[in-house]
Amino acid sequence: MSQGKSFNAFEMAQAQFDKVADMLDLDNATREILRNPLREYHFGIPVRMDDGSVKVFRGFRVQHNDARGPAKGGIRFHPHETIDTVRALSTWMTWKTAVVDLPLGGGKGGVICDPHNLSAREQELICRGWIRQISKNVGPLSDVPAPDVMTNAQHMLWMLDEYETILGGKYPGFITGKPVGMGGSLGRTEATGFGVIFTLREALKDMGIKPSDTTVSIQGFGNVAQYAIKLYQELGGKVICVSCWDQKDQTSYTYRKMSGVSLDELLSITDRFGGIDKGKAAEKGYEVLDGAAWIEQDVDILIPAAIENQLTGDTIKKISKKVKIVAEGANGPTTPEADAFLQERGVFVIPDFLANAGGVTCSYFEQVQSNMNYFWTKEEVLEKLDQKMTSAFRAVSDLAKSKNIYMRDAAYVIAIGRVAQACKDRGWV
């Protein structure tokens, strides 16, 4: 199972599940059905390349569980894609849709390929080939794909077009992540970052702290971080630093301004990958610090919103005693060792699959709007997003308080409990 690597995401997903299955005292059949994907498809996608040769790409779709509704999850193009990564990601999608109580299951797909070395035409043929292999097993009522790493709105439109050509009709609800005006939803760009702040706002409310009395340090300055900063600043909070990757120097830096960073100022010197221009930042009066410095700041709140595996057994010891909340914008930023430290320190953690669920929630709204062929205003989308995120947060934090358990465990207990119940109610187990 380990595929020669020390880290296997699917083994980690199963270990997380096993811990909560014990807490919930699940029976063996339920464990068996939830530990593994219900269905997985492996296929070859032959593509006539630009040089006239034919190359066969390996494609996957994994439907981990659809007891609560159609499977939902992205399609990733990556040269190192493995079936175990897809299995793990589809498992996490099941828990993510369940924790926000969306009537959806979890799925994920992928193709082993590197878009950097493929022409647009070759990528289009991979997208169309992926759909031709799987069109009978996906659809608006069974499994709804979306973009993920290295796939975008264009890939989704090619896939939709192929699906509609095969089916002979219009099915805009088949896939999400489409551009606005071609079946996409307003508010999707803001959704994940805003969702993080909706949950943070509720956490602060519970602690009796006003956002305007707090300071934040953020790792990342991409889509999630930028919109998290926007909303948090609108609530009156102060962001004193952001950290991001510098492509030129091949390292990360932290940009700090103790009086508070200006979002517009930083956006004006940031590339489309979320990298800030170091020289220009210094000119604008930002201190340029080591990439890891974001974690050591004397702030109330830390928001990791860049990549996984950042709060580790080592780095976590550097966090200030002042930190009260960690809101996980990124997927998997905290290792189990760091989790134990935060729990002991009494830091309130808003776990990734709750905090960053605004993205999938808005994708669900896109699916609903596409199926109706009637589209909402941005205000309507964001208001519904706030309601969904707030009630999901309330359910998790109420359980954590009443049972005196860690927030991440409470989120898993709710998510896994809901899916287990759906399997039982359907008579599967």
Q: Is 5 a catalytic residue?
A: no
To ligand NAD, the closest distance from the beta carbon of 3 in angstroms equals 21
Q: How far is the CB of 26 from ligand NAD (least distance, A)?
A: 27
CB of 211 to ligand NAD, least distance (A): 21
Which one, 266 or 325, has the nearer CB to ligand NAD?
266
Site residues (vs ligand NAD, CB under 6 A): 192, 219-225, 243-245, 252, 274-275, 291, 305-307, 329-331, 356, 359
Closest distance of CB 170 from ligand NAD, Å:
26
> In the complex, what is the shortest distance from the CB of residue 221 to ligand NAD, in angstroms, rounded to a whole number?
4
In the complex, least distance from residue 17 CB atom to ligand NAD, rounded to whole angstroms: 20
Nearest distance, CB of residue 423 and ligand NAD, angstroms:
26
Residue of 72, 96, 108, 257 marked catalytic: 108
CB of 48 to ligand NAD, least distance (A): 32
Helix axis angle, 358-372 to 83-99, nearest 10°: 80
**Would you say 189 or 421 has its CB closer to ligand NAD?**
189
Q: Which is nearer to ligand NAD, 47 or 228 (CB)?
A: 228
Which CB, 30 or 310, lies closer to ligand NAD?
310
Tell me which residue has its CB nearest to ligand NAD. Answer: 222
Rounded Cα distance between 226 and 61, Å, is 31
Task: Rank residues 38 and 326 by Cβ distance to ligand NAD and give the closer one.
Answer: 326
Q: Name the residue nearer to ligand NAD (CB basis): 59 or 329.
A: 329
Distance CA(346)–CA(323), nearest Å, equals: 10
Nearer to ligand NAD, 57 or 92 (CB): 92
Distance CA 280, CA 272 (A): 16
| Residue placing its CB nearer to ligand NAD in the complex, 291 or 417 | 291
- Exposure letters 107-132 (e unless 16+ CB within 10 A, then b): bbbbbbbebeebeeebbbbbbbbbbb
Q: Which amino acid is at 269?
A: I
User: For residue 234, what are the contacts with CB-CB under 8 A and spacing of at least 6?
Assistant: none
Which residues does the annotation mark as catalytic? 108
